[in-house]
Every structure is written in structure tokens, then in C-alpha cells.
Structure 1
Amino acid sequence: MAELRALTFQPVDLDALATAKGRIAVFITPDLKLTAGARRLNRLAKGAIARATTSEAWDKLSEGKVMSLAWPAGLEADTVDLVKLSRRPSQDLARKAGATLAVAAGASELTALVEGTRYPEEIALGLALRGYGFDDHKTKKGDALGLATLMCAKPDEAEAAAAPRLAVAEGVHFTRDLVNEPANVLTTTEFAKRLEALNSLGVEVEVLEEKQLAKLGMGALLCVGQGSDSPSKVVVMRWNGGAKDDAPLALIGKGVVFDTGGISLKPAGGMEDMTMDMGGAGVVAGVMHAIAKRKAKANVVGMVGLVENMPSGNAVRPGDVVTSMKGDTIEVINTDAEGRLVLCDVMWHAQESVKPAAMIDLATLTGACIIALGHENAAVYSNDDPLANAFLKAAETETEGAWRMPLGQAYDDMLKSPVADMKNVGGRPAGSITAAQFLKRFVKEETPWIHLDIAGVAHVKTDLDMSPKGATGWGVRALDRLIADKFEVTD
């Protein structure tokens, strides 16, 4: 789950290597200059490391990859993992090496010698991110990284450097846990309960129930959940780590805990994946967890709209007209274009209630985004170039794919309705763009804003460098980096 109890830093203990259980990892430079720990391991293993690193297979091994030696003589460990990494790798390469090691180690106990290796905190981050597993509903456990000890020359310094990075990893895990949960477990009520638990980290949490939402005029959000037995909610999370009078950054998340499409019912094939349609809310929750855990010196408000989109006798129908909190009327052409109806009310509430310095919304919003960008990049839409550029830089630093997309009047015109102020879809062409254009109508002129369509990156079918298949936690690292770079108070 979210807590990372398995990763510890310790001084190098050469004598303990002979009796270490599970797996021992050692980092070997391409020039084969062995550290003291590597030399000791080589002697204990009767020269096996030297033989392996002078082999043709080692020569062909890419930097950051692992060669495993099973059942080495002279050691109690069942495997020695040789990681090829220069003494001065990039942060990204060190992180990827840690992730590769996590895959090799699995749930085994791991002792990793990182003496003399640059960025041990990034190696630890890679281990933590890729070592995630979700086995809450399995009778046989053991999907996640086991106990991992990183031995280094200055463990206190390495631990201090790793602490904020591992806090972010905990936020990523929190997001993944939420997104991976089945909808019969993660109801709107259970989701709100888990967010209320952020109180323990110092986050102020308020849950707005349906009567309060109706009083606020959130007709767009409420129409989405009116066909479900699960009550619609808005959860407001406040982290006040910055200057008292500084306006906060507002993060807005779509939290559709299950999306059948409503009356505009989705095809049966693949509908089980719609447990991840609350991915935007999951990312907002993960960011709030991360910044609270590392005690970020910033003011951030996270708001998530939690609903379930179900068909029933009470469900909203195609052709219905609803009124948003802003007061604009919306003709619901397609009940499966529900996420924007949730977001528009929460976005308006955020601007009215906290007057944010900037606002970023996240949603698994459109299949059109996946058609455009696949599973490599999230779509980025913005009304503010400096904010958009700052986010794109943060995403690049954290190696989370993001690509800026256009907005424009021609796309906005596609939302015209003959019976209301707008309709909720603009047709098949440019579906991700018209969805963003719809949301832009609910952004005040003075509010810098980004919309992130994360439909393709929130949940994937194949393993990635930093995450196993399933929920990725995409966006937690990039948004945390953006907050650190742009919104934190400097001493």
C-alpha cells in the first residue's frame, strides 16, 4: 500500500555479505573497477563476479540493466544481481537501474551495495516505484518489493536525500491503490473515507454531500450520479504549507468510480476497465499525500468530484438540459461524456471558494486522447503559456510523457446547442479538444489553467519502466515537481 516500510539505508557491512539472505545486488561500472564490497563478494563467490563481468554477455549488457548469477558458491544468498552503472550516471538512468533491479528482485529480501554510486536516492526511488504490487484481493500475497536494504558510505545523507523522493513514491502508490481498486470496494463513500484519512498527515479534509451540492447549484455534477445508489460527493483537501496570504494552487480531479456510460451504455467488452475512470481524482489524492508527507512549503487545495455513472429509471437521459453551478445550461447529448459535467462544477466551485493562483484539472476524459497520443503522453491544454511550459518541464524532468494540444474558437463553435447554452459533446472529430474547450468555458479569465486528459496514461495493459501493468500513478511526480519549482515558498 502507500507506506514504504521495506526500504532502509545502512552503512556498508562487508562481513554481513556472506550471510545475507535472498538476493545481493552490486553496482559494477563499465570499466570494471570494483568497489570494496564488490571485491569482497567476488572473493566469497570464488571469482564468479569477475568471470561474469569479463564475459561477452556482460559486454552486450546495456547500462542500467541487470545480470543475475543464481546460487553463487560461498554465499547464503540465492542470487547475486550485477547492475551495470557508471559512477556518475544521470538521475534518470540511476532511477531506471533501481527499477530494473526491483523487477529482478521481486518479493525476495534484497541487500544492495550502492557504495560509490551517484544518486542512491534515485536508485531507491526506482526500486520503490517499480517495486509496487497490488495484491489486496489475492489469497496469495507477494506482488510487491520485499525488504530492501541499501548499503552506502553515507547512509544518513542518502536517507535525507531520498526522503522527499520516497514521500512522492508513497503518493504514487496511494494513487495506484485507489485506481486499481474494484468499484464494489471503492464506492464514492469509501473513496471519501480514504481521503478523510489524509487528516493524519495534516491535510484538512471536508466532504460535501448531495444536499450541500444541490444548494451550491451543482446540477451538472449531480445529474451524472442520479442514476446510482452511491451518493455523489465532492471532497475538498487543503494543505496549508505556504505563506498565510498566498493564493493556493487548485487541483481538480474527475472521480467517476465506475462508468457504465449511463443511458448511452458502453459496449460490454472492456467495460471492466472503467474502474479506473476515477484516475484524475486518484492523482489529486496522491499529490496531496505526497506534498503533505514531505511537508511542502506551498498552499494547495485538491477538490475531487466523486460519482458513479449508472443506467436506471432515475438516470439522466440524452436530450436532458441541466444547469451548472456557473449558471450556464448544458444539453446532455451523450451521457457517456459525463466527466466534463463533473469537472465543470468542481472547477467553478474552486474558483468561487478559494480564488486560486492557478488551477489544474485531471481526468480520464476521452477515448479520443488515446487515439491521438496512445499510452505514451497525456494531453495538455492551457490558457496560460508560462504555466503550461512549467508543467511540461516538470513532466520531462520526471520522465512522465505530456504533449500540448491546441484550443481555438472553431472547436468551441462545435459545442453550440439549439436548446441550451452548450451541448456536452462536439461530435467525433477532435473529441479530446472539444472536451477541453467545454471545460475552458468554466475557467475565469483571470485564472491560469491547465487541463490534463490522462485517459491513455492512467492505466496500462503492459509493464512500464517505472510501474507494473495496471494503474501507473502518472502525474503525481510531475505535479509534485511543478509545485516544488513554481509554488513553494523559498527560505
Structure 2
Amino acid sequence: MAEPLKIDFISPALPDSGDLVVFVGDDLALGPVAAETLGEAASLVARAAKSEKFKGKWKSVMSIAQPAGLAVDRLVVVGIGGAKERAELDFALLGGVVAGRTAGRTATVICDLPEVAAGPEEVAEISLGARLRAYAFDRYKSKKGKKSKGEGKSESKADEKGGDDAEDMTGGRLSLACADPSATKKAAKIREGLAEGVTLARDLVNEPANVLGPVEFADMAKSLEKVGVEVEILDEKQLAKIGMRALLGVAQGSERPARVAIMRWNGGGKKDKPIAFIGKGVVFDTGGISIKPAGGMEDMKGDMAGAACVVGLMHALASRKAKANVIGAIGLVENMPDGRAQRPGDIVETLSGITVEVINTDAEGRLVLADVITYVRDRFEPAFMIDLATLTGAILVALGNEHAGLFSNDDTLAERLHAAGLATGEKVWRMPLGPAYDKMIESKVADIKNVGGGRNAGSITAAQFLKRFVEDTPWAHLDIAGTGMGAAQTEISRTFGSGYGVRLLDRLVRDHYEG
């Protein structure tokens, strides 16, 4: 794997080598600390900006090679835009811009932003964004560390579109110069566990299915014991005894046995009800007998992004010793079309006792979740449940890659998720539920069927299906088919597996559910 980015925190001072990074607004003004640190060399910014037509727009970058009056190799000027952009500044994205343009190099960043307060928490967010940008999944590359496209080209030119050049993210060191290095280091330490959780989720989604099956995935969940998470792995015999027939029905066409992993973090009071996060973990989804088209099927290695998020979240919460009791539960199966596979028209009895007519074997994730939701609901009686799943292509039609679909029976929980999404950039958009949609999944031969009628309201009927198993427990369902895998690249997410949901749910817990 790529060498990790090293980050430290120092007091502002001019370095004598490497890159020096400063920030300017759309008026090209530096912050007072940055201006004082640069001294007479501060005038370079305005002079170079004029010739390079650099205007300090949000995420724009101008690099000046061998700047006169400074001993550094490059002066990198990053724009933070005008008043509107500064009022809504995403410090994590800003860290991603910096890491993208200093990749593999040694850089000192003067964390003094003009007209924007950048205290320990904000600078710690910059460090988080830099760590997330530095992620690369290259363990299967036989030749690593190759120079990327664009490396070696002129560095004196402004890039008004931001730091989007392809880059070699191997290694490198960022020294974040700030007013209180000690307090900032403490704030950043908390985010290290969060970055590790996102990285873990990304690794799981990026792994090929021939390497990561249900058993191997369960082993990864088991490894969370090293950070203090209690982990219980249920095998096929135990699942059959419990009565998870819907989950096992999905798995029966694969040679690889199903697993369910139950993870527990006990950071709250003994009498506090736990909160629960449940993930769909279909390690590869062919569609079963209702087989998918060949084009793009390789992406179905990511059909376990919901489970990956739950594992990453549990790591993040345990790493920062979250003061909450948390359950993480993931159903792990592979959906394959062999002679033993589930057929369209089959009827299965779920753990809850509800019977399901299987109309389409490619609507398998909801069958897995139905049993795991029932199990968590009955065994742990949680204060609320949130499930995450790459559940429907219909949510991509509705929302694209910008938002996850949010369905909920609880307005407070939905509002808190929406706020956490805005705070982290992992946005959600609430979708409707209702009795009219419930009628669309009624079956003539069983209690319900696993798909609605035709293509209409596909993501809603899937959520309505899951709601049948929730009963009165406050609940939210996040359909992350457009955000958990193959999402649009951003300044902090550059690979197939985005790790979506870890930061969102960590923020939700931190803001509302810790004692």
C-alpha cells in the first residue's frame, strides 16, 4: 500500500526547503500571520497572480517555483473565495486541496486564513481532509510510485479549477503551522481514528470479491477487538438455528457460507439503551437467477458498502472512546446463480415470521436486512436503528451521486441525519414513505413480495419493505447506491470506495447521542 502521509503541528515560521502553502481570498489578501511570516516576499502573490490570471477563487491553486526571497522550492497559493465561500468553508475539503497539490512532498502550511477563524478544531479538520485525500488503493499494483500525468510540468501556472491533477500520493509530510500546535494536535488525534475508519471502509469496498468473501469480511470485523469492540460472529448453523431464513436464502446459491457479525461498543452508561447501525454486506451480487447485465457487473464487489461503513464507524467510535453504547450488525452473503440458488417465485419465511414472495432474486439486499433488522430489534431493543445499503439503482435515478436517499419513521432522527450530512458533506435527502407505497408490495400468495410493481418508486418500495420489520423502533434507512461506491470524485475521495457514511454517522453520534 502507499506510504502514509505524515502530519505534524508547528508554530508559524519560514521553512528553508520544501513547499510553503498560504491561503488568500478573492481579493488576494493574505491573513496577518501569513503576511508577517512571508515578509517582503508577500508581494510575490499579487505580482504572480496578475501574470497568471489567478483570482483566489475557492479551491483554485497557483504555484510559484523557486520564489524570490524565500528558501523554499515552491510557494503554493490556495484560494478560499469570497465572503460566501468563506462563511461556509469546508476545512476538510481545503485539506484535500492542499494534500492534492503537495502530494509526495514536504510542505509547510500556514493555517492563517484571511477573515476566517482557524482554531484547533478547524486546523484539525484540514488534517483530516489531507489524510483522506492521501488514501490510495494500490496493493495489487506490481509497479508502484510511478510518476503521474502532469508531474514535472511548469509549476508557475495558476489552476483556477482546483487541485485536480493526478498525483502520486505516496508518502509526503505536511507541517500545519498554527497558533496553538498542542491543542490542535489533540483535536487532530480524535480525527485520526475517524480517518482510519473511513480508510477501513474504503479498503473493504475496493477489495475484489475473490479476496473478500463473507468469511474474510467477518474476520475484518473481528479485528476490531484490538480497539475494544466486542465482536460475535454467527455462522450458517447458528443462523439456521436462529431462523434467518431470508438471509440464508440469498446465500444458498454460493459456495461461500454466509456470516453475520455483531459488534458492540460499550462506552455509555450501563442502563443506557444502545443505538444500532445495520449494514447490507453482499460481497458480490450477480443478481442470482435474475442475473444482471454483464456491463458494469464488476462494480458489484461494492454491494457491501453499507456493511463496510458500519465496520469503519465502529472503528472510529471505539478509537475516540465514544461515550455511547453502540451496536453494529452486518449481514454477509454472496448472491450467485448456481443450481441451489433461490428462484423467482420462491416463498421464504423471515426471522420475524413475515413471509416473502421472491419476485426478483436481484432484490436480495432487503431480504438480508429484514432478518438482521429483526434480530437487532428483538435482541438489543435499541433506542433507534439506522441501516445502510447499496439497495436500489432507482435512488441513482432520483438523486444521482450527490445525496444518499433517506427514509425514516422518525422526524427527529431524520432531521439530525440531515444536519450531520450538511456538516460533513455526506449529504442525505429525505424521501417519502406511506400506505399507498405499502400496497405496491402486497403479494397474492405471501404476506409481501420483495419488489413493487414495475420500475415506479423502486427505492421507496424497497424502504417500505424494510419498514415492515422495524415495528415501533425509531428507524432510518440510507440508500447509498449512488454515494457508497463509484461516487463522483471529490477533493477528499478519489477511489471507487468512498467510505461514505462513516463521517456522517460519527457526527450524528457525537452531536446527539453521547453522554
Query: TM-score range with shorter-chain normalisation?
Result: over 0.9
Q: Does 1:208 align with 2:234?
A: yes
Give the structure 2 partner of residue 144 of structure 1.
169
Cα deviation per residue 1:227-259 (whole Å; 9 max; x = unaligned)? 111110000110111111111111000000000
**Per-residue deviation at 1:41?**
4.7
**Matching residue's letter, 2:435:** Q
* Structure 1 pair 90–290 and aligned structure 2 pair: CA distance change class (3 A): farther
Q: TM-score, normalised by structure 2?
A: 0.88
* SS at structure 2 position matched to 1:283: helix
Give the structure 2 partner of residue 65 of structure 1.
60
User: 1:2·1:177 contact (CA, 8 Å) conserved in 2?
Assistant: no
* SS at structure 2 position matched to 1:470: coil
The separation in 2 between residues aligned to 1:72 and 1:56, in whole angstroms, is 14
**Matching residue's letter, 2:8:** T
Cα deviation per residue 1:84-122 (whole Å; 9 max; x = unaligned)? 348994463333222211221223233222256612122
Q: 2:319 aligns with which of 293, 311, 317?
A: 293
Q: Does 1:309 align with 2:335?
A: yes
**Matching residue's letter, 1:10:** I
User: 2:2·2:138 contact (CA, 8 Å) conserved in 1?
Assistant: no
The separation in 1 between residues aligned to 2:189 and 2:82, in whole angstroms, is 22
Q: 1:125 aligns with which of 123, 128, 146?
A: 128
Give the structure 2 partner of residue 25 of structure 1.
21
**Matching residue's letter, 1:27:** F
Q: 1:439 aligns with which of 445, 451, 466?
A: 466
**Matching residue's letter, 1:6:** K
- Superposition map of 1:236-385 within 5 A: 236-385=262-411
**Per-residue deviation at 1:51?**
2.3
Q: Does 1:222 align with 2:248?
A: yes
Q: Does 1:10 align with 2:35?
A: no
* Structure 1 pair 251–115 and aligned structure 2 pair: CA distance change class (3 A): same
Question: What is the identity percentage for the equivalent residue pairs of Structure 1 and Structure 2?
Answer: 52
* Structure 1 pair 159–219 and aligned structure 2 pair: CA distance change class (3 A): same
* Structure 1 pair 115–373 and aligned structure 2 pair: CA distance change class (3 A): closer
Give the structure 1 partner of residue 98 of structure 2.
101
User: 2:24·2:56 contact (CA, 8 Å) conserved in 1?
Assistant: no
- RMSD of the alignment, in Å? 2.4
The separation in 2 between residues aligned to 1:2 and 1:418, in whole angstroms, is 55
* Structure 1 pair 222–236 and aligned structure 2 pair: CA distance change class (3 A): same
* SS at structure 2 position matched to 1:362: strand
Provide structure 2 residue ranges, at least 5 long, that are not aligned to the other structure. 146-167
Q: 2:485 aligns with which of 443, 459, 473?
A: 459
The separation in 1 between residues aligned to 2:59 and 2:259, in whole angstroms, is 45
* SS at structure 1 position matched to 2:89: helix
- Superposition map of 1:404-483 within 5 A: 404-427=430-453, 428-445=455-472, 447-460=473-486, 462-483=488-509
**Per-residue deviation at 1:77?**
4.7
Deviates further, 76-85 or 270-279:
76-85
The separation in 2 between residues aligned to 1:199 and 1:169, in whole angstroms, is 18
**Per-residue deviation at 1:314?**
1.1
The separation in 2 between residues aligned to 1:46 and 1:291, in whole angstroms, is 43
User: 1:46·1:74 contact (CA, 8 Å) conserved in 2?
Assistant: no
- Superposition map of 1:32-43 within 5 A: 32-33=29-30, 35=32, 41=38
Cα deviation per residue 1:18-76 (whole Å; 9 max; x = unaligned)? 2x23x331233546246555555566x79644522455623x23034321123445666
Give the structure 1 partner of residue 160 of structure 2.
none
**Per-residue deviation at 1:293?**
1.1
Deviates further, 33-42 or 189-198:
33-42
* Structure 1 pair 270–4 and aligned structure 2 pair: CA distance change class (3 A): same
User: 2:197·2:313 contact (CA, 8 Å) conserved in 1?
Assistant: yes
The separation in 2 between residues aligned to 1:87 and 1:410, in whole angstroms, is 47
The separation in 1 between residues aligned to 2:89 and 2:3, in whole angstroms, is 23
Give the structure 1 partner of residue 159 of structure 2.
none
**Structure 1 outlier segments of 4+, above 6 Å:** 1-4
The separation in 1 between residues aligned to 2:228 and 2:126, in whole angstroms, is 29
* SS at structure 2 position matched to 1:194: helix
* Structure 1 pair 367–2 and aligned structure 2 pair: CA distance change class (3 A): farther
User: 1:3·1:170 contact (CA, 8 Å) conserved in 2?
Assistant: no
Give the structure 2 partner of residue 111 of structure 1.
108
* Structure 1 pair 90–242 and aligned structure 2 pair: CA distance change class (3 A): farther
Q: TM-score, normalised by structure 1?
A: 0.92
Give the structure 2 partner of residue 82 of structure 1.
77
**Per-residue deviation at 1:123?**
1.6
* Structure 1 pair 291–92 and aligned structure 2 pair: CA distance change class (3 A): farther
Cα deviation per residue 1:441-474 (whole Å; 9 max; x = unaligned)? 10122x0000110101112254223311411112
**Matching residue's letter, 2:414:** A
The separation in 2 between residues aligned to 1:212 and 1:442, in whole angstroms, is 21
* SS at structure 2 position matched to 1:474: coil
**Matching residue's letter, 1:65:** S
**Matching residue's letter, 1:92:** L
* SS at structure 1 position matched to 2:21: strand
* SS at structure 1 position matched to 2:186: helix
* SS at structure 2 position matched to 1:301: strand
**Matching residue's letter, 1:81:** V
The separation in 2 between residues aligned to 1:282 and 1:205, in whole angstroms, is 15
The separation in 1 between residues aligned to 2:329 and 2:300, in whole angstroms, is 21
Deviates further, 393-402 or 374-383:
393-402
The separation in 2 between residues aligned to 1:188 and 1:2, in whole angstroms, is 26
* Structure 1 pair 186–77 and aligned structure 2 pair: CA distance change class (3 A): farther
The separation in 2 between residues aligned to 1:50 and 1:42, in whole angstroms, is 14
